[in-house]
C-alpha cells in the first residue's frame, strides 16, 4: 500500500472525532475549526472537506448549529457539541487510548518480536 | 491583482464545486457551497495583500472540489445503512400479534428479531408467560378457589373474590401492556424494514 494512501485512511477515521473534541471547549465556526487544525500539522489536508464533514455531523446529531452575528460582515454558522456528540467523543477517547497503547507497545517491542 | 480576476477565480472554483456536488440533495449542496463561499470571503477579508498567488493558495488549501464532493458523498453513503428508528417490520408486527394470541410462536419470533435487546426479549418472554391463552388457562382455575372459599367464613369469600378480581385484571392487562412496551422499544434497522430474512442475520 502506498504510504500516501495509508495516511489518508488513518486521517479519515479520526478527523471527525478531533473536530468533535475541539468543539468540547466552545462552539466554533468552520473557519476556526480549520485554523486550529492547521496548527496541528498533519491532520487536515484539504481544508474544504471540513464543511461536508461538519454538515454530516450535524445530520447525525453530533453537533448543533446556530447563526451568530459578526462585528463586520455576514453572520457565521457556529457548531456546538450535542449530548450524543459528547458521548461519541468520550467513546472515541477510550477506544483511541487503548488502540494507541497497543500499537505503541508492539512497536516498542520491536515489531512484536520479544 | 484586479478584482475582476479575483472574482473570476473564486467563481470558477465555486462553479466546479456546485457541479461536483450535483448529485447531492439540494439543501445539502447549498449548505456546503454557502459555507465554503463564506469561508473564502472571511479569508479574503483577513488577507493583507490580495494577490493572485495568495488567492490561489487559499483555493489550494481548500482542496479540489472533487475531493470535497467525495467527502460529502462518503457521508451520504455511510448514513444510509445507519439504523432507522422505531419502524415496523413484518416480523416484529407478527411477533407482537402472536405474543398475544399464539404465545409460543410469538416468543420464537420475538427472539428471531433483531429489533429488541436481550433484556427486552427476556422480559417479553416471561411477563406474562402465555399471552392471552395463558391468562385464560390461569383464570380457568379460579372456580376451584371460589368453591374452596365458599365453605369458609364470609370475610374469606370476600378476600378471595377481591384477590381473584385483581389477579384477573393483571392477567388481562399484562399481555397487551407488554405488547405496547415492546412496540415502543423496538428498533428495526431501516434497511431490513419489512424484510424477514434480514432479521435473522444476528
Contact A60 B65 (CB under 8 A): no
Predicted pLDDT of residue B55: 92
Q: Please give the helix or strand (H or E) that residue B185 lies within, else none.
A: helix B154-185
Instruction: Out of B38, B45, B67, name the one closest to residue A46 (CB).
Output: B67
| Rounded Cα–Cα distance for residues A84 and A65 (Å) | 14
Shortest Cα distance from B1 to chain A (angstroms)? 23
* Model confidence band, residue B83 (pLDDT cutoffs 50, 70, 90): very low
Q: Residue B190's Cα: distance from chain center in Å?
A: 8
| Rounded Cα–Cα distance for residues B106 and B131 (Å) | 9
Q: Taking a C-beta distance cutoff of 8 angstroms, is the pair B160, B146 a contact?
A: yes
pLDDT in tens, chain A (114 residues): 556 678 777 888 899 999 999 999 999 999 999 999 988 877 777 899 999 999 999 999 999 999 999 887 789 999 999 999 999 999 999 999 999 999 999 999 876 555
Q: Taking a C-beta distance cutoff of 8 angstroms, is the pair B56, B68 a contact?
A: no
Predicted confidence (pLDDT) at residue B28 exceeds the cutoff of 90: yes
Q: Residue B87's Cα: distance from chain center in Å?
A: 7
Contact A49 B61 (CB under 8 A): no
Q: What is the mean pLDDT of residues B139-164?
A: 84
Quick check: A39 contacting B, CB < 8 Å?
A: no
- pLDDT, tens digit (0-9, with 9 covering 90-100), for B32-59: 999 999 999 999 988 888 888 899 999 9
Predicted pLDDT of residue B188: 61
Q: Taking a C-beta distance cutoff of 8 angstroms, is the pair B63, A47 a contact?
A: yes
Measured between beta carbons, which residues in chain A are less than 8 angstroms from residue B42?
A: 31, 73, 76
- pLDDT, tens digit (0-9, with 9 covering 90-100), for B104-140: 888 888 888 878 878 888 888 887 778 888 888 888 8
Contact A52 B42 (CB under 8 A): no
Average pLDDT, chain B: 80
Q: Taking a C-beta distance cutoff of 8 angstroms, is the pair A50, B36 a contact?
A: no
In this predicted model, which residue has the larger pLDDT, B150 or A15? Answer: A15
Instruction: Out of A30, A47, A54, name the one closest to residue B63 (CB).
Output: A47
Residue A21 to residues A33, A36, A91, B179, Cα–Cα distance (Å):
11, 12, 11, 41
Predicted pLDDT of residue B76: 62
What kind of fold does domain A3-108 have according to CATH? Answer: Arc Repressor Mutant, subunit A (1.10.10)
Contact A51 B45 (CB under 8 A): no
Predicted pLDDT of residue B24: 93
Question: Among B15-19, B83-87, B163-167, which is the least confidently predicted range?
Answer: B83-87
| Rounded Cα–Cα distance for residues B192 and B91 (Å) | 10
Most confident of B97-101, B159-163, B191-195: B159-163
Q: What is the mean pLDDT of residues B184-192?
A: 61
Residue given cell 462585528 in the structure block: A71
| Per-domain residue ranges of chain B | 3-79, 90-199
Predicted pLDDT of residue A55: 95
Predicted confidence (pLDDT) at residue B187 exceeds the cutoff of 80: no
Residues 6+ apart with CB under 8 A from B18: B29, B33
Grid coordinates belonging to B108: 420464537
| Rounded Cα–Cα distance for residues B185 and B116 (Å) | 7
State the ipTM, two decimals: 0.83
Measured between beta carbons, which residues in chain A are less than 8 angstroms from residue B35?
A: 30, 51, 54-55, 77
| Rounded Cα–Cα distance for residues B182 and B200 (Å) | 18
Predicted pLDDT of residue B146: 82
Predicted confidence (pLDDT) at residue B78 exceeds the cutoff of 60: no
Predicted pLDDT of residue B155: 86
Predicted pLDDT of residue B190: 46
Measured between beta carbons, which residues in chain A are less than 8 angstroms from residue B77?
A: none
Residue numbers of A between 81 and 100 with CB closer than 8 Å to B: none
Amino acid at each position: 500500500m502506498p504510504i500516501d494512501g495509508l495516511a489518508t485512511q488513518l486521517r479519515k477515521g479520526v478527523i471527525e472525532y478531533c473536530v468533535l473534541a475541539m468543539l468540547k471547549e466552545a462552539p466554533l465556526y468552520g473557519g476556526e475549526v480549520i485554523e486550529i487544525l492547521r496548527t496541528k500539522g498533519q491532520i487536515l489536508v484539504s481544508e474544504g472537506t471540513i464543511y461536508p464533514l461538519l454538515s454530516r455531523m450535524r445530520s447525525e446529531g453530533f453537533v448543533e448549529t446556530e447563526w451568530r452575528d459578526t462585528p463586520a460582515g455576514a453572520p457565521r454558522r457556529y457548531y456546538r457539541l450535542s449530548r450524543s456528540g459528547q458521548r461519541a467523543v468520550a467513546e472515541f477517547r477510550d477506544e483511541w487510548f487503548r488502540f494507541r497503547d497497543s500499537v505503541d507497545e508492539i512497536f516498542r517491542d520491536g515489531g512484536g518480536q520479544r | 491583482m484586479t478584482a475582476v480576476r479575483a472574482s473570476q477565480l473564486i467563481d470558477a472554483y465555486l462553479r466546479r464545486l456546485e457541479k461536483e456536488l450535483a448529485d447531492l440533495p439540494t439543501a445539502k449542496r447549498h449548505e456546503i457551497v454557502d459555507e465554503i463561499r463564506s469561508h473564502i470571503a472571511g479569508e479574503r477579508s483577513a488577507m493583507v495583500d490580495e494577490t493572485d498567488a495568495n488567492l490561489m493558495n487559499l483555493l489550494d488549501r481548500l482542496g479540489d472540489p472533487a475531493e470535497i464532493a467525495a467527502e460529502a458523498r462518503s457521508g451520504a453513503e455511510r448514513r444510509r445503512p445507519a439504523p432507522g428508528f422505531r419502524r415496523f417490520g413484518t416480523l416484529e408486527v407478527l411477533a407482537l400479534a402472536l405474543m398475544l394470541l399464539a404465545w409460543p410462536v410469538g416468543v420464537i419470533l420475538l427472539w428471531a428479531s433483531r429489533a429488541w435487546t436481550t433484556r427486552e426479549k427476556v422480559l417479553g418472554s416471561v411477563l406474562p408467560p402465555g399471552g392471552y391463552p395463558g391468562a385464560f388457562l390461569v383464570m380457568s382455575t379460579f372456580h376451584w378457589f371460589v368453591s374452596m372459599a365458599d365453605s369458609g367464613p364470609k370475610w374469606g369469600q370476600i378476600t378471595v373474590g377481591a384477590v381473584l378480581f385483581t389477579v384477573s385484571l393483571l392477567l388481562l392487562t399484562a399481555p397487551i401492556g407488554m405488547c405496547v412496551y415492546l412496540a415502543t422499544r423496538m428498533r428495526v434497522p431501516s434497511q431490513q424494514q419489512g424484510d424477514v430474512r434480514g432479521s435473522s442475520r444476528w
